[in-house]
């Protein structure tokens, strides 16, 4: 039995209104870029005491500082250094006790930018 509004008996819930469609997840950046691809096989520019000096493990290690990227975001690819897997772990603080300083990172960033420029991946006007 329904009332004049078409509602059922008191105490019974009607069907739930449909949920609004979910927003799509924020698009993440590309997994592979020219600057990231270029890192493979390059010598490590950080060269921390933990460095494994194996260019086969080198990848582009992003510098997460100064608000250059939001939470769960990577900074732009030119704010990154060529780092072997062990130095990359140290820079991202996944390696306990490995100390590094901003002088190491600044030197590595400069060396990486020069290398990327020489490979034609960065165009400087």
Binding site for Zn ion (CB under 5 A): 44, 51, 84, 87
What residues are paired with 83 via a beta bridge?
59
Q: How far is the CB of 53 from Zn ion (least distance, A)?
A: 6
- Residue number with CB closer to Zn ion (73 or 92): 92
Phi, psi of 58 (to 5 degrees): -70, 135
CA angle 64–70–75, rounded 5-degree value: 45
Taking the complex as a whole, the smallest distance from the CB of residue 78 to Zn ion amounts, in Å, to 20
- How far apart are CB 81 and Zn ion at their closest, in Å? 10
Cβ pair 82, 57 in contact under 8 A = no
Q: Which is nearer to Zn ion, 51 or 105 (CB)?
A: 51
10 Å Cβ neighbour count for 88?
24
Q: Which lies closer to Zn ion via its Cβ, residue 2 or residue 103?
A: 103
Return the number of the residue (52 or 73) whose C-beta is nearest Zn ion.
52
CB of 47 to Zn ion, least distance (A): 6
Residue from 79, 96, 95 nearest 87 by CA: 95
């Amino acid at each position: 039995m329904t009332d004049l509004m078409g509602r059922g008996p008191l105490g019974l819930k009607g069907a739930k209104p449909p949920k609004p469609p979910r927003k799509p997840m924020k698009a993440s950046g590309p997994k592979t870029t020219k600057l990231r691809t270029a890192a493979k096989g390059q010598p490590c520019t950080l060269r921390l005491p933990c460095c494994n000096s194996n260019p086969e493990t080198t990848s582009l290690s992003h510098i997460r500082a100064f608000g250059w990227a939001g939470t769960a975001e990577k900074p732009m690819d030119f704010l990154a250094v060529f780092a072997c897997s062990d130095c990359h772990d140290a820079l991202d603080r996944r390696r306990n006790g490995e100390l590094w300083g901003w002088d190491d990172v600044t030197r590595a960033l400069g060396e990486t930018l020069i290398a990327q420029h020489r490979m034609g991946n960065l165009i400087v006007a």
